[in-house]
Amino acid sequence: MNGSASAPTRRGAIKAAAGFGILSSATRVGDAAETAAAEGRLKQSVCKWCYRDMALEELCEHAAKMGIVSVELLAKEQWPVLKKYGLRCAVGNGICSIRDGTNRTENHSSIERNARELISAASKAGVPNLILFSGNRRGMSDEEAWENSATVLNRIKAQAEDEGVTILMELLNSKVNHPDYHCDTTPWGVELMKRVESPRVKLLYDIYHMQIMEGDVIRMIRENADYIAHFHTGGNPGRNEIDDTQELNYKAISRAIADLGFEGYFAHEFIPKRDPMTSLREAVELCTV
């Protein structure tokens, strides 16, 4: 399974710094997070947009203490904030919108321009992935959408490969949350990946969205592991907590992903209905396998 680019050897740097007695408080926070996360086989992340009422720095502080190693779906201007807490931004955004994506040629110039700028910035900032979207169908055939999407992705893949940044095409449901979205099933996304054929262009498999569209989550992940570089969680129905109030067995899903030797990030993207940090902490514990 081709995960995100590996992080620099921060652990080695921490060890060296400790030997000279120069560990900062921020480094200790990050080291504690890494130690906690090391108890499990998945690198857990959290999506900032699910906590709109919470400042980014506050979320970072909570996340680091929980063993979460990344806060994601952040704009380029937000990436530097995470360093203070020893965290990464696993996924940056800004290439295109969900509705106006790769399937339409009129979007290609802006997508290519944004992607090239963000790939360079992400490479320098240590952001391993960038997200983009297929766009809505609006009557377009699958064949035309595959051809158009592959065209623009093939233009930017060489830069992504050279600079070590993975471009993620997200799988979203078109049944509940994103009506008319084109890349709405795993087979659709896999066909696009085959046409691009790059180690730096992969799928973001959103477990919540794919449960709605096709179910059979563990088997689909296992059979298409080579094309997946990132995961998102969410309880179904409702996209809320991933506990026993919903139908997905996240302990089994997490274990299945870890058993594949997955090296990318596993990110929580649910909207909490209860105390948000309690729910997030419970989710981290559930998915620590």
Structural domain boundaries in the chain:
10-286
Name which of 4-18, 40-54, 56-70, 154-168 the model is least confident about: 4-18
Decide: helix, strand or coil at residue 92.
strand
What are 238-278's pLDDT values in tens digits?
Answer: 999 999 999 999 999 999 999 999 999 999 999 999 999 99
Q: pTM for the complete prediction?
A: 0.87
Taking the C-alpha atoms of residue 19 and residue 112, their distance in angstroms, rounded to an integer, is 46
Element (H, E) at 172: none
Average pLDDT of 195-221? 98
Q: How confident is the model at residue 126 (pLDDT cuts 50, 70, 90)?
A: very high
Which strands, in side-by-side order, build the sheet including 91-92? 70-72, 43-47, 265-268, 228-233, 201-206, 166-170, 129-132, 91-92
Q: Are strands 166-170 and 228-233 parallel, antiparallel or unpaired?
A: unpaired
Q: Which residue has the higher pLDDT, 251 or 33?
A: 251
Task: Could you please state the CATH topology (level 3) that the domain comprising 10-286 is classified under.
Answer: TIM Barrel (3.20.20)
Q: Cα-atom radius of gyration of the chain, to the nearest Å?
A: 18
Q: Which of 213, 255, 253 is nearest to 232 (CA)?
A: 253
What burial class does residue 21 get, using C-beta atoms within 10 Å of its C-beta: 0-12 exposed, 13-18 middle, 19+ buried? exposed
